[in-house]
Amino acid sequence: MDRHIRTVEDVLRLLDDLFADGGDRWTADAGSWWDAFYADRSRPVPFFAAKPDENLVSCAERGLLAPCRALDLGCGPGRNALYLASLGFEVDAVDLSPAAVAWARRRAAEAGGEVRFLTGDAFALLGGELQGPYDLIYDSGCFHHLPPHRRISYLALLDQLLAPGGLFGLTCFAAGAMGSELPDAAFYERGRLEGGLAYTPESLRRLFGDLTEVEIRRMRDEPPDSPHFGEPFLWTALFRRAPH
């Protein structure tokens, strides 16, 4: 007989286990899944290119972002973290995949960029290696790979790490263009995330309702020769936390 559930985190971990055999990107060994994904760096994966998100560049060029302390969640090979560092931001960047972080560190060494890269689950690192406050938290493609129950952990992370008046930037799958539109309960019935969850602007506004919306729009489609990354199947969003 097993009666170990006594905290909310115990419940969240129990729900995590429901996806352990689904071949998904959120499992007990998610880092290994992503390591295999990043193993062949020559694959024509759009976000393998060392290009920052076009919306992130747009925010910086419009003066919505200024050098500050920033966190890049799910940094992958470091393209957005290195862009922010090049503008004078003090950047921490975290990813589950050791292979992705190794690639990002190599890029940083080649570019002369200063970023503190961390390997691991951001939720587990919270309060340890991840210490707020951050004036900018940016997530390009991590949020839509979380199972529904881990939104609780995600919102808690924002609450703990995002500074008063700080900005939260996000890109995620757009309903009708990319990602699964199944209701939340269906993912638990199936035991898999169907490659990622799609969101609508309304669902993002509801989920991040404690923050003030600055903008939500579709990412612009950038041509292959563009210096920026852009795919129109993604939403881009920017929210601001209240000053006090």
From CA 184, how far away is CA 186, in angstroms rounded? 5
Q: Which CATH architecture has domain 8-39+47-240?
A: 3-Layer(aba) Sandwich (3.40)
Instruction: Tell me the residue length of the chain.
Output: 244
Assess whether pLDDT exceeds 60 at residue 205.
Answer: yes
User: Given phi > 0 = left and psi -120 to 50 = alpha, else beta, which region is 2?
Assistant: beta
Give domain limits for the chain: 8-39+47-240
Structure confidence at residue 31 (pLDDT): 67
Give the number of other CB atoms < 10 A from CB of residue 88: 10
From CA 228, how far away is CA 159, in angstroms rounded? 30
Residues 22-71: tens digit of each pLDDT:
556 555 567 677 888 888 888 888 888 899 999 999 999 999 999 999 99
Structure confidence at residue 43 (pLDDT): 86
Residues 116-170: tens digit of each pLDDT:
999 999 999 998 999 999 999 999 999 999 999 999 999 999 999 999 999 999 9
Structure confidence at residue 3 (pLDDT): 86
Assess whether pLDDT exceeds 80 at residue 88.
Answer: yes
Assess whether pLDDT exceeds 80 at residue 98.
Answer: yes
Give DSSP secondary structure letters for 39-97. S-TTS--GGGSS--BHHHHHHHHTTS--S-EEEEET-TTSHHHHHHHHTT-EEEEEES-
Structure confidence at residue 22 (pLDDT): 58
Structure confidence at residue 46 (pLDDT): 85
Q: Which residue has the higher pLDDT, 212 or 22?
A: 212
Residues 177-196: tens digit of each pLDDT:
999 999 999 999 999 999 99
Structure confidence at residue 36 (pLDDT): 85
Residue bearing tokens 């529904």? 148
Structure confidence at residue 26 (pLDDT): 57
Q: Rounded to two decimals, what is the model's pTM?
A: 0.95
Q: How confident is the model at residue 19 (pLDDT cuts 50, 70, 90)?
A: confident
HSE-up (13 A, CA, CB side) for residue 166: 20
From CA 72, how far away is CA 139, in angstroms rounded? 6
